[in-house]
């Protein structure tokens, strides 16, 4: 279940991966026989396009040959440096899961769980033979609804199994008191990626809506509805979801924590949306007793109440059937439904020609359901104590650079600097994996029951999260699994998190020069650290509380500096007629720009300590500073399908990869100086943006 209200912000180095299909056994055998993908070095000379001018287009210079050497695989919407590391990790996990999937009595309890979950996912014959029978009790429950008053019990069950019909429910740290864990209700209930897909004008948006209605129609037909009724029901569902979209908050507004923090007692929620019996809802979800919760978007729940009053029960039941089938993991559905799900969410939305092999889907599903059980086995063989120690040292170096950066700012007052330093000193560093792995002993996994396993895993995670309400915060908890190729900062925890999965070559190469590692993982560390001081993170103090610790003058100066980035990135055209949303991507752009600067300063300090000659040339003909910037650029090498770029720009707070390079280095005069650029060239503009 989604942790509603959590403002953790991640790096996202991997491509968006969508649903994929059957024919699993043959694929699994073929994959097992293949060698695990070789990871590239910290700097790959083959990727460099030396015919390009680094002062005109640094991304093209650092990565111009990548796409020729590494075309996008047909089962992916994009392919880049992070995807190579991701695929390598998937293959490592595949070998691990194939081993523990053997029904061996010597397996540990966790090995048995992850092995049986994976084996059940791979058992396509059992899944397709079962058809929709495993969902029939849930469908019968919807059909049996005779009154809207009976909705509450069903919606409570839905929330436990990750079906966010009409709204979403979960827990979060209290923004104003990070020691408390509270309940939170938020907007939800949409099948398209976000609200503006229902409201945006233009031919491309209209085409997507038509494709979505056809997709719903096709799925309802596969559920047994006659074609005319399926088409009619799809139109009703689209109308209802459009009404939900109209009362929802847009994704850019949701970035501001003040916009999604409205603590109130239960009585106020009851008064706001009496169509739902909230007392019964909280009881049915097994939520511990509480008095106050966060209603993230009060206007949504006022509108939802009106919508529930005005919508007939048959339309609601039709919508609930759709929400159920659309939220059910497609790998547990019959082949035709699995294919249809991929056709819309994969081909139409992301431009991905083929589904991923089933073993890849099952590896991802197992990691999603039992991530720390998978991770505990993974790190034993793939992440050493030396790996952790070297990463810890780099993190400390970059935190030192952040402290020096704060003190050097000419626009920040001494008063705010002191508070910023205090917050920085309180950042918790989490490297590789948690100190204590999660206990899955109460989760039942039944071999051969793929859908049942997925449902029980969702319920287990939902109850685990809801049971935290009213209890002290576990500061050691992680929001990503150890094999994840990503990283994140959580402002309520005030911690930076680097799973073992991302600490692999080329992002971290123990055999590479320091310049390369600082350019790669150093910038990643700096990125996450800067998130603590971006437009979102700066609103939280060192304890993780939402509190204004800035002087009014400093806050105005900060906003003026971020406004430079908003305008800068908002001028970049991502694909066709679609420009980057400078406000949506502001936090990530600030983190990219601040992160590379911190890594650069830490690298210079490290080079001075070690007596490295910054004028010496390496085997590629680069000075250490040039090598640093080329390594940074190669963190984002890759290519992406146009449909996937459009989807990303409209839904994702991260800028496309080209602009995570060019948009950053053009704000770093040090890069231009290293490559002999002249002021006024594209990568060395007269006026550069800088926040941190």
The answer on pLDDT for 16 being more than 90 is no
For residue 266, tell me if it sits in a domain: yes
Report the pLDDT averaged over residues 159-175. Answer: 97
Q: What angle do CA 401, 402, 406 make, to 5 degrees?
A: 120
Say whether both 378 and 495 belong to one domain. yes
CATH of the domain at 249: 1.10.1380.10
Number of other CB atoms surrounding residue 471 within 10 Å: 11
> Is residue 650 a contact partner of residue 196, using CB atoms and an 8 Å limit?
yes
Tokens, residue 366:
């197992």
> From its phi and psi, is residue 448 left (phi > 0), alpha (psi between -120 and 50) or beta?
left
Local confidence band at 489 (pLDDT 50, 70, 90 cut-offs): very high
Residue 311's contacts (CB-CB under 8 Å, 6 or more residues apart) are 240
605 is a domain residue: yes
Q: Do 535 and 666 lie in a common domain?
A: yes
528 and 387 within one domain:
yes
Instruction: Supply the DSSP symbol for 294.
Output: E
Confidence of residue 1 (pLDDT cuts 50, 70, 90): very low
Q: What is the pLDDT of residue 34?
A: 53
The answer on pLDDT for 30 being more than 60 is no
Q: Are residues 284 and 168 in the same domain?
A: yes
Q: Which of 2, 1, 8 is nearest to 540 (CA)?
A: 8
Q: Percent of the chain scored above 70 by pLDDT?
A: 96
- Do β-strands 292-295 and 177-187 pair in parallel, antiparallel, or remain unpaired? parallel
Instruction: For residue 487, give both structure tokens.
Output: 């990283």
Per the domain annotation, does 454 fall within a domain? no
pLDDT value at residue 11 = 75
Q: Residue 491 sits in a domain of what CATH number?
A: 3.40.390.10
pLDDT at 556 over 80: yes
pLDDT in tens, 84-100: 999 999 999 999 999 99
List 75, 528, 627, 652, catalytic entry: 528
Q: Is residue 105 part of a domain?
A: no
204-236 pLDDT per residue, tens: 999 999 999 999 999 999 999 999 999 999 999
Asked whether residue 333 carries a pLDDT value surpassing 70, the answer given is yes
Q: Are 47 and 634 in contact (CB under 8 A)?
A: yes
Residue 420 pLDDT greater than 60, yes or no: yes
User: Do residue 85 and residue 146 come from a single domain?
Assistant: no
Give the confidence band of 2 by pLDDT, cuts at 50, 70, 90: very low
Backbone dihedral angles phi then psi of residue 199, each to the nearest 5 degrees? -115, -20
DSSP 409-442: -SSS-HHHHHHHHHHHHTPEEEEES-SSPPP-TT
Among 332, 349, 382, the domain-final residue is 332
Q: Is residue 363 part of a domain?
A: no
Domain range for 420 is: 9-92+368-436+476-674
Lowest mean pLDDT, pick from 10-14, 45-49, 487-491: 10-14
Residue 122 within a domain: no
Q: Same domain, yes or no, for 494 and 598?
A: yes
Q: For residue 440, what are the contacts with CB-CB under 8 A and spacing of at least 6?
A: 109, 110, 113, 370, 372, 373, 460
Say if CB 416 and CB 554 are below 8 A apart. Answer: yes
**Sorting pLDDT into bands at 50, 70 and 90, what band is 7?**
low
Which of 241, 592, 606, 643 is catalytic? The answer is: 592
> Is the model's pLDDT at 18 over the cut of 70?
no
Specify the pLDDT at position 14: 60
Q: Are residues 55 and 193 in the same domain?
A: no
Give the number of domains in the chain: 2
Residues 313 and 388 in one domain: no
Q: Are residues 139 and 261 in the same domain?
A: yes
Instruction: Kindly state whether residues 636 and 562 are assigned to the same domain.
Output: yes
End of a domain among 306, 332, 358? 332
Question: pLDDT tens digit string along 578-589?
Answer: 999 999 999 999
- In a shared domain, residues 257 and 395: no
Same structural domain for residues 260 and 166?
yes
Of 118, 8, 160, nearest in space to 464 by CA: 160
Which of the listed residues 304, 332, 360 is the one where a domain comes to its end? 332
Within a domain: residue 206? yes
- Tell me the C-alpha distance between 566 and 561, whole Å: 9
The pTM of this model reads: 0.94
The verdict on whether 606 is a catalytic residue reads: no
Q: Is residue 586 part of a domain?
A: yes
Q: Is 592 a catalytic residue?
A: yes
């Amino acid at each position: 279940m989604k942790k509603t209200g959590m403002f953790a912000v991640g790096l996202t180095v991997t491509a968006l991966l969508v649903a994929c299909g059957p024919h699993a056994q043959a694929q699994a055998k073929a994959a097992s026989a293949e060698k695990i993908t070789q990871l590239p070095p910290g700097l790959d000379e083959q990727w460099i396009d030396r015919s390009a001018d680094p002062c005109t287009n640094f991304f093209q210079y650092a990565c111009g040959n990548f796409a020729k050497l590494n075309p996008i695989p047909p089962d992916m919407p994009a392919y880049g440096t992070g995807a190579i590391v991701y695929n390598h990790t998937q293959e490592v996990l595949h070998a691990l899961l194939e081993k523990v999937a053997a029904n061996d009595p010597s397996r540990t309890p966790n090995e048995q769980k992850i092995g049986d979950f994976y084996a059940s996912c791979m058992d396509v014959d059992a899944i397709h033979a079962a058809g929709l029978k495993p969902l029939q009790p849930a469908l019968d429950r919807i059909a049996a609804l005779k009154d809207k008053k009976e909705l509450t019990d069903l919606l409570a069950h839905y929330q436990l199994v990750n079906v966010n019909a009409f709204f979403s429910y979960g827990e979060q740290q209290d923004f104003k008191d990070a020691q408390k864990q509270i309940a939170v209700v938020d907007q939800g209930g949409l099948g398209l990626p976000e609200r503006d897909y229902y409201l945006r004008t233009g031919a491309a948006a209209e085409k997507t809506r038509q494709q979505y209605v056809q997709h719903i129609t096709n799925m309802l037909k596969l559920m047994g509805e006659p074609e005319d009724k399926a088409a009619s029901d799809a139109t009703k569902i689209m109308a209802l979801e459009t009404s939900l979209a109209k009362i929802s908050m847009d994704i850019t507004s949701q970035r501001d924590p003040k916009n999604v923090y409205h603590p109130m007692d239960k009585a106020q929620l009851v008064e706001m949306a009496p169509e739902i019996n909230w007392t019964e809802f909280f009881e049915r979800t097994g939520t511990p007793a509480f008095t106050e919760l966060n209603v993230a978007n009060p206007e949504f729940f006022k509108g939802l109440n009106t919508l529930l009053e005005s919508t007939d029960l048959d339309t609601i039941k039709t919508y609930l059937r759709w929400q159920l089938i659309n939220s059910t993991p497609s790998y547990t559905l019959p082949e035709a439904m699995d294919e249809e799900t991929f056709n819309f969410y994969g081909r139409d939305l992301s431009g991905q020609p083929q589904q991923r092999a089933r073993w890849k889907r099952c590896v991802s599903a197992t990691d999603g359901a039992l991530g720390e059980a998978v991770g505990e086995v993974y790190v034993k063989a793939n992440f050493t104590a030396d790996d952790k120690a070297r990463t810890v040292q780099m993190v400390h170096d970059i935190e030192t650079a952040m402290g020096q950066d704060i003190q050097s700012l000419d626009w920040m007052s001494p008063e705010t600097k002191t508070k910023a330093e205090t917050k920085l000193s309180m950042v918790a560093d989490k490297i590789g994996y948690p100190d204590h792995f999660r206990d899955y002993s109460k989760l039942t996994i039944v071999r051969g029951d793929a859908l049942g396993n997925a449902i029980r895993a969702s319920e287990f995670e939902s109850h685990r999260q809801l049971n935290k309400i009213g209890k002290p915060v576990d500061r050691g908890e992680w929001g990503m699994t150890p094999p994840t190729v990503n990283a994140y900062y959580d402002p309520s925890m005030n911690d930076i998190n680097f799973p073992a999965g991302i600490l692999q070559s080329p992002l971290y190469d123990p055999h590479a020069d320091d310049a390369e590692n600082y350019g790669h993982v150093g910038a990643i560390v700096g990125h996450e650290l800067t998130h603590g001081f971006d437009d979102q993170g700066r609103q939280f103090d060192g304890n993780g509380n939402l509190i204004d610790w800035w002087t009014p003058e400093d806050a105005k100066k900060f906003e003026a500096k971020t406004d430079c980035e908003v305008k800068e990135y908002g001028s970049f055209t991502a694909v066709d007629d679609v420009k980057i949303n400078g406000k949506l991507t502001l936090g990530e752009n600030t983190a990219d720009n601040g992160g590379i600067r911190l890594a650069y300063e830490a690298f210079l300090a490290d080079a001075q300590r070690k007596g490295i000659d910054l004028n010496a040339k390496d085997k590629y003909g680069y000075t250490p500073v040039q090598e640093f910037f080329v390594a940074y650029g190669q963190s984002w090498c890759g290519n992406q399908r146009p449909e996937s770029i459009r989807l990303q720009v409209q839904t994702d707070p991260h800028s496309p990869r080209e602009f995570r390079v060019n948009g950053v280095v053009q704000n770093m005069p040090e890069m231009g100086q290293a490559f002999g650029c002249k002021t006024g060239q594209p990568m060395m503009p007269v006026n550069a943006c800088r926040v941190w």
